[in-house]
């Protein structure tokens, strides 16, 4: 693994390379965006021709029985600031593939990246993994064109697996959703199809600081890469970190119960979808999609649309000369294992107008008040554009003076080496934390490059 880590670091340090001209990226991206796009128009739920609502429950199902469903969820959390609530949630039990293909050019690993348009992306085109597909997509349920490069990830026997781990997605909107995050290296000749391009990791890291360029699926795969970090000087031993996580999972009081979508007594149902009676949180809407350059040219589907831009932030500090990040052991109703490590702050601030003061996230005010001298990273990045409509978060990395004991048992300082070690396994870091790990590594690469 040491040789792989060194080679990945070499790619992270490479801002230029023969197969790709960084100066020409914007022209390539803009030109391709004229030909590859999606448009999404709101339509009534009853107009989703391949979907139906069951008469008794109102749950939304695809007529194939595949893809996903939208149903209601009752959540009980007696120890939480909000002890119980009901909400819609997306149930997508199948495991998709998020895969990035690597090939070495002139001694530097390059990543084959796809420019992909999703109906929920606010700006249309974003950079995505080589393969980004649900099981229903890649088994042809949609009757569309085959997924390019899929065989590299379905049969890895002729290639080298760099990373392969199942990871969760948004536990507030997905019920136990997992995707297989894969990085596979090949030495074979690879035909570069229209809309695909080789990048060094350093080039991807530079683009990560730009709003809405690197999509969520690519960020989570990049976070799962092997990474060389200082292995000593951690405030807490790794065995203690694992014990802390297991303890939080064992003591968690969250219970969930599937209920009918029509039984959500705090949610209003209209022909255009479902919305919370407060006007906050998120809506369930229907969209009609027209696409160019996708496996399927037109379709209709339900989506979740959040009410407001979120804030996702890591607080960081040095402890005895070693950089640490403040993690939050967070419960969300859709997690498969109750608790995952989340960013220091992860919320949509506008939603807290309708919640009790005790529910307001710790450290949110510190993040919102941080001046430019403390903000090390800031970009507005989109979440998954295939299920969420214009879901965007302001991602931040902020220097802090929070003490070594953060004053709450659900928070703990960890090093980058510890995060990397946890990312070798499933369901330890949530998808927002994984995005921020990629952002942190981009800062390290920039610092190393001077």
Mean pLDDT by groups of 10 residues along the chain of 450 residues: 90 84 84 90 96 95 94 96 97 95 96 96 93 76 77 96 97 96 97 95 96 98 94 96 98 96 96 96 97 85 98 98 98 96 97 94 97 98 97 98 96 98 98 98 88
- Residue 72 counted as domain residue: no
Query: What per-residue confidence (pLDDT) applies to 191?
Result: 97
Query: What per-residue confidence (pLDDT) applies to 17?
Result: 77
- Return the number of other C-beta atoms located less than 10 Å from residue 297's C-beta: 13
- Residue 377 counted as domain residue: yes
Q: Are residues 353 and 443 in the same domain?
A: yes
Cα–Cα distance, 111 to 203 (Å, whole number): 10
Q: Are residues 202 and 332 in the same domain?
A: no
Q: For residue 195, is it left (φ>0), alpha (ψ between -120 and 50) or beta?
A: left
- Report residue 42 CA to chain centroid gap: 24
pTM reported for the whole predicted model: 0.96
CB 323 within 8 A of CB 413: no
Host H or E run for residue 250: helix 238-251
- Residue 261 counted as domain residue: no
- Residue 74 counted as domain residue: no
Q: Are residues 205 and 315 in the same domain?
A: no
- Residue 16 counted as domain residue: yes
Q: Are residues 164 and 216 in the same domain?
A: yes
**End-to-end CA gap in the chain:** 26
Burial of residue 188, with CB atoms counted within 10 A of its CB: 0-12 exposed, 13-18 middle, 19 or more buried: exposed
Query: What per-residue confidence (pLDDT) applies to 20?
Result: 72
- Residue 281 counted as domain residue: no
Q: Are residues 352 and 219 in the same domain?
A: no
What are 66's two structure tokens? 């595949």
Q: Are residues 353 and 444 in the same domain?
A: yes
Q: Are residues 248 and 171 in the same domain?
A: no
Number of domains in the chain: 2
**Domain limits for position 426:** 238-255+308-449
Query: What per-residue confidence (pLDDT) applies to 138?
Result: 60
Q: Are residues 201 and 246 in the same domain?
A: no
CB 214 within 8 A of CB 204: yes
- Residue 286 counted as domain residue: no
Q: Are residues 207 and 341 in the same domain?
A: no
Q: Are residues 248 and 146 in the same domain?
A: no
Which of 9, 443, 446, 445 has its CA nearest to residue 226?
Answer: 9
- Residue 71 counted as domain residue: no
Query: What per-residue confidence (pLDDT) applies to 143?
Result: 55
Q: Are residues 251 and 208 in the same domain?
A: no
Q: Are residues 251 and 174 in the same domain?
A: no
What are 147's two structure tokens? 């997924």
């Amino acid at each position: 693994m040491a040789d792989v880590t060194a080679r990945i670091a070499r790619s992270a340090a490479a801002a230029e390379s023969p197969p790709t001209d960084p100066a020409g990226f914007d022209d390539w991206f803009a030109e391709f965006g004229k030909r590859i796009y999606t448009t999404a128009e709101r339509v009534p739920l009853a107009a989703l021709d391949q979907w139906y609502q069951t008469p008794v429950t109102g749950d939304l199902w695809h007529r194939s029985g595949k893809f996903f469903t939208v149903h209601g969820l009752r959540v009980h959390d007696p120890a939480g600031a909000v002890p119980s609530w009901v909400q819609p949630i997306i149930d997508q039990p199948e495991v998709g593939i998020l895969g990035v293909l690597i090939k070495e050019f002139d001694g530097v690993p390059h990543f084959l990246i796809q420019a992909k348009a999703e109906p929920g992306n606010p700006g249309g085109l974003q950079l995505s993994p080589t393969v980004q597909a649900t099981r229903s997509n890649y088994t042809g349920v949609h009757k569309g064109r085959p997924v390019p490069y899929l065989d590299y990830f379905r049969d890895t026997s002729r290639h080298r697996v760099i990373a392969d781990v199942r990871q969760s997605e948004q536990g507030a909107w997905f019920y136990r959703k997992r995707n297989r995050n894969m990085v596979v290296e090949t030495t074979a000749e690879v035909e570069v199809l229209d809309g695909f391009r080789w990048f060094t990791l350093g080039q991807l890291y530079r683009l990560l600081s730009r709003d809405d360029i690197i999509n969520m699926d690519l960020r989570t795969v990049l976070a799962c890469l092997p990474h060389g970090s200082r292995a000593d000087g951690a405030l807490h031993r790794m065995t203690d970190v694992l014990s802390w996580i297991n303890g939080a999972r064992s003591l968690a009081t969250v219970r969930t119960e599937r209920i009918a979508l029509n039984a959500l007594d705090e949610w209003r149902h209209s022909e255009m979808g479902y919305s919370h009676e407060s006007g906050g949180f998120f809506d369930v809407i229907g969209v009609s999609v027209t696409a160019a350059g996708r496996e399927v040219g037109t379709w209709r589907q339900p989506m979740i649309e959040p009410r407001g831009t979120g804030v996702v932030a890591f607080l960081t500090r040095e402890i005895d000369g070693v950089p640490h990040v403040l993690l939050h052991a967070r419960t969300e109703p859709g997690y498969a294992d109750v608790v995952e490590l989340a960013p220091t702050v992860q919320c949509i601030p506008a939603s807290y107008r309708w919640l009790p003061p005790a529910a307001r996230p710790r450290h949110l005010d510190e993040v919102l008040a941080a001046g430019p001298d403390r903000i090390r990273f800031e970009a507005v990045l989109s979440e998954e554009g295939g299920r969420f409509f214009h879901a965007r978060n302001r991602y931040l990395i902020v220097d802090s003076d929070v003490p070594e004991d953060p004053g709450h048992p659900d928070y703990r300082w960890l090093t980058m080496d510890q995060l990397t070690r946890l990312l070798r396994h499933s369901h330890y870091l949530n998808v927002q934390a994984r995005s921020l790990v990629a952002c942190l590594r981009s800062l390290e690469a920039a610092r190393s490059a001077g």
